[in-house]
Structure 1
């Protein structure tokens, strides 16, 4: 794999840490800023909202920029956003800084996915996307626990100072390693890009991502992410469908395992593997359906779809617990979401076959 992919993974690592580390620092932030833990928890929702809004806006605004320039600009926003978090004097300034930081998230992964696929042979595109997302999984496994420890030991601001440093390093690595071939402006226009988003296969791809990922309430493993990329390189459709089936099975049977501590640990690992095994195939599916012009925008929208799925899943899980049928049913309800994604994926495949059967005159 080209070294440039590891540069993208470095950026993904920093973004992953800043997204998730706040979860372990909610008590520290609430105490220091004089707000409730519930209000501090809204910093998570604010970030997710920033991703959903920022992904299309920034991708459109930078649509004519060279992709390398876009990635560097996004890492600059990310770094400045974390610096603002470290210096935030009150809760609302911290919220604003979190939203600003989140603006870089969706476009980085969206444009980064397009850059990653352009660096490798056609039969390794999904693996390239998976390698970039490995930075996100390593952030969950190593970066977030370390950042949480750092914040609890030296104050939550120390964590954001550390992530600011990660942003500076990632900026330098991308500057040095991403090739000049990615410095060419993207040949696209806004009208054409938006037309791509209106295609039924692309819209169905977004729906599969939202529904497939709404069943996930957290966790992730490097092995599942890389395996999903490897399988998608050879059997894209089968990988999308298969990963959703496995995710539904893990969620559906998880309830029976949670009564045993050992089995609970095993199933948390399986959930992480199954969840992240869907990432590269779903991202590659949307990129293929977008075809050429508009890929960056479609890719960024799909990253927003992942976050929309996260938000929807958290809301549904909360409703199941608060309004019934209760905590024990959360995993069963969650399993229905990737199953509904399978139905949408089947409809998308049916649409593809019908389109291929139409004569050229009918399609024009």
Structure 2
């Protein structure tokens, strides 16, 4: 029951993180702000999550994880309820920034908790299972919030996240056993991480691939509407198509990751994302764009799951800190990607919207992640052959 409670928690977290992107069309119209300001709202929240993840990991120490994760979801509920009532943009962005600190805590600590409760032989599968909640969010949550945003408004979508967060808090409290207290991370342990080129390289892979993906994903809703004339239902369908195959990719990864190894799995998924982004300009219509995004959809969320398992396997005793740092890289990547996308949109070619150039940002950043991942995989093989621990 514990793993399902944590999976559902990640589902709610994922819906909440992605709700601004899904409802961006209504949000910018309702608050009378530009698409670029909407992108900045995403970026501010991402920075808070990115910076907050390692800081919160250091602060919570050996706190009981059942209590911690349940309280985290209650904070998420309160924050989204207040965001739903925000009168304008000046109120919304600080409320949003404080709310998403919950995501900075829940996602890495849920993964670390599951890894702590699992045997080494099944650790990779256990971690990717709870992280699958994010993929489920992309299947159901992202399309639903996009539809709700278009038909009922972004405030209703925020309110729905608040209700789901309360349910998640109750499930976590009931599903997790008492007394799960992974060892607190010392300054010496943090130093070991920052002194390890291999561990840092893997975290950098997460940062680059997250930024590359989010340069496009952050603006997908207005992109589909502006350049392809998509209706609310078509926008939801595109998100649902992407999310459905993202879930399938996670399910496949969950079954094979302990056999293939996380490093190989991640390097493969990154290559598939680059393939989609390179083929992006060849899609003249929305249905063809769906076909082009298929390799990306299968790989996008699987990459994040694989990275969590990769770090958990490289150094299990440093897992709580590594998961937090990796989550920080995911969210900081969102900020970098959203900001880079906003810059591209603010500097369009004459007579063009700027959306058609977003994929090139993704190609560069995800391509860099692929190269670094391949290098880190080779270094890991060498370390394993020499019997060295990456934290040594």
Which range, TM-score by smaller chain?
0.7 to 0.9
Higher relative contact order (CA 8 A, sep 6+): 2
User: What is aligned with 1:142?
Assistant: 140
Going from structure 1 to structure 2, the CA distance change for 1:63 and 1:342 (only over 3 Å counts) comes to same
User: What is aligned with 1:291?
Assistant: 316
Going from structure 1 to structure 2, the CA distance change for 1:244 and 1:26 (only over 3 Å counts) comes to closer
Q: Which moved more, 1:279-288 or 1:212-221?
A: 212-221
Superposed, 1:159-170 pairs within 5 Å as 159-170=157-168
TM-score (norm 1): 0.86
Unaligned runs of at least 5 residues, structure 1 = none
User: What is aligned with 1:21?
Assistant: 19
Alpha-carbon offset, residue 176 of structure 1? 0.8
Alpha-carbon offset, residue 67 of structure 1? 2.1
Name which of 337, 351, 359 aligns with 2:365.
Answer: 337
TM-score (norm 2): 0.80
Aligned residues: 356
Alpha-carbon offset, residue 316 of structure 1? 4.1
Going from structure 1 to structure 2, the CA distance change for 1:355 and 1:98 (only over 3 Å counts) comes to same
Distance of 1:336 and 1:36 partners within structure 2: 26
Distance of 1:273 and 1:126 partners within structure 2: 19
Name which of 265, 268, 276 aligns with 1:250.
Answer: 276
| Cα RMSD after superposing both structures | 2.9
Render the CA deviation track for 1:94-136: whole Å, top value 9, x for unaligned.
2122111211112211111112223444333333233223322
User: What is aligned with 1:210?
Assistant: 207
Render the CA deviation track for 1:29-81: whole Å, top value 9, x for unaligned.
44544544543443212211121121112111102212222212211221121
Distance of 2:118 and 2:314 partners within structure 1: 19
- The alignment partner of 2:198 has SS state of helix
Distance of 1:141 and 1:240 partners within structure 2: 21
Going from structure 1 to structure 2, the CA distance change for 1:323 and 1:197 (only over 3 Å counts) comes to farther
Runs of 4+ residues deviating >6 angstroms: 357-360
Render the CA deviation track for 1:195-224: whole Å, top value 9, x for unaligned.
243122211111111223333232542011
- The alignment partner of 2:87 has SS state of coil
Matched, 1:192 2:216: no
- The alignment partner of 2:184 has SS state of coil
Render the CA deviation track for 1:78-100: whole Å, top value 9, x for unaligned.
11211221232332222122111
User: What is aligned with 2:264?
Assistant: 238
User: What is aligned with 1:71?
Assistant: 69
Distance of 2:183 and 2:84 partners within structure 1: 38
Structure 1 contact 232–280 (Cα < 8 Å) conserved: no
Distance of 1:32 and 1:330 partners within structure 2: 25
Going from structure 1 to structure 2, the CA distance change for 1:81 and 1:353 (only over 3 Å counts) comes to same
Distance of 1:260 and 1:28 partners within structure 2: 23
Superposed, 1:256-295 pairs within 5 Å as 256=282, 258-292=283-317, 294-295=318-319
Alpha-carbon offset, residue 165 of structure 1? 0.9
